[in-house]
Chains A and B, each alone.
Chain A
Amino acid sequence: MAGPQFTDAKSLFAFAEKLLIENRAIHQKYGPECAAAATNPLSEGAILWSLRKCETILPNNEKIVNTFARNHDYLSAEQWKTFVEFREHALALKRNTYERMDREIVPRFPQSFQEMLVSYAK
């Protein structure tokens, strides 16, 4: 799946931002740092988190990675570098979902990627 072709970086960033909004909503509602996890460590919310991660977050990440790759001509070297940080996070998250790895080598979501998308949309 190559992802859609855009005509400028702004459209590309808007596309990615919408997918990340969905990911963030799921993470905040069901992720390891959600309110349910804080109040009840044995909550079955953990099952829901696994399901929603596989159904939505990982595919959304893949769409973003593929779409950035297809539209890389619109990105500066600095923007590409920021995207690569996100790509490595996305790949490690996917791998960790199927088989956990030592947490030190699984990078968390890079805020710099989010900042890039938001700042460009202004």
Chain B
Amino acid sequence: MPNNSGIPSWKSIQFFENAIATHNAVESVTNRGENVFIINRKGHAPVVVYLTDVYTVGIADVIDAMTRIPDLGCVVTISNWNGYTQAAKDHGVQNHVGVFLFAELMGALNRDDFWAYVKHDDDGNPVYHYRG
């Protein structure tokens, strides 16, 4: 549930940890504190995720997370109601930082270049979450 602070609820964090742990490519998940998680993958490099619950991830959020977390791999906003601006997405990709909804992260974890992962619809068109 998005909120003004952007801090995910305890329930959302639990959901995140449980769901990630069931992913085929994931070996383990470590909570580093302050909503930063290290996802250790089988046969791929670990991914450092900053988990949030803001309604819209903007470019300022991405820059802020990159500044605070030098080894950042992804900014993930947990709820399906959430999304991101195109500027945030583009800035992330340029800096090898994935900007995702949780469901997108699940697809991205299968790839070495996880930050560039884009989901496609049944017709093969890329699906972004630029709309509110």
Determine chain B's interface SS by DSSP, over half rule. Answer: loop
Knowing A43-B80, A44-B80, A102-B59, the reply to whether A97 touches B132 (Cβ < 8 A) is yes
**Interface check B114, CB cutoff 8 A:** no
Interface code B1-24, partner A: CB below 8 Å = 1, 0 otherwise? 111000001011001000000000
Quick check: which of B31-39, B67-75, B82-90, B117-125 contacts chain A, the rest being far away?
Answer: B82-90
Instruction: Collect the chain B residues with CB atoms within 8 Å of residue A102's CB.
Output: 56, 58-60, 85
Instruction: Collect the chain B residues with CB atoms within 8 Å of residue A77's CB.
Output: none
**Interface check A28, CB cutoff 8 A:** no
CB of B79 within 8 A of CB of A37, answer: yes
Q: Which of B12, B58, B85, B86 sits near A41, CB closer than 8 Å?
A: B12
CB of B81 within 8 A of CB of A32, answer: yes
CB of A38 within 8 A of CB of B9, answer: yes
* Residue in A38, A42, A49 with the greatest tally of chain B CB atoms within 10 Å: A42
Further contacts, 19 of them, CB under 8 A, given A41-B80, A42-B80, A46-B81? A32-B81, A33-B1, A34-B1, A37-B79, A40-B15, A41-B1, A41-B79, A42-B103, A43-B80, A45-B81, A50-B131, A93-B132, A96-B132, A99-B132, A100-B84, A100-B129, A102-B56, A102-B60, A106-B56
Measuring CB to CB, which residues of chain B are less than 8 angstroms from any residue of chain A? 1-3, 9, 11-12, 15, 54-56, 58-60, 78-86, 102-103, 129-132
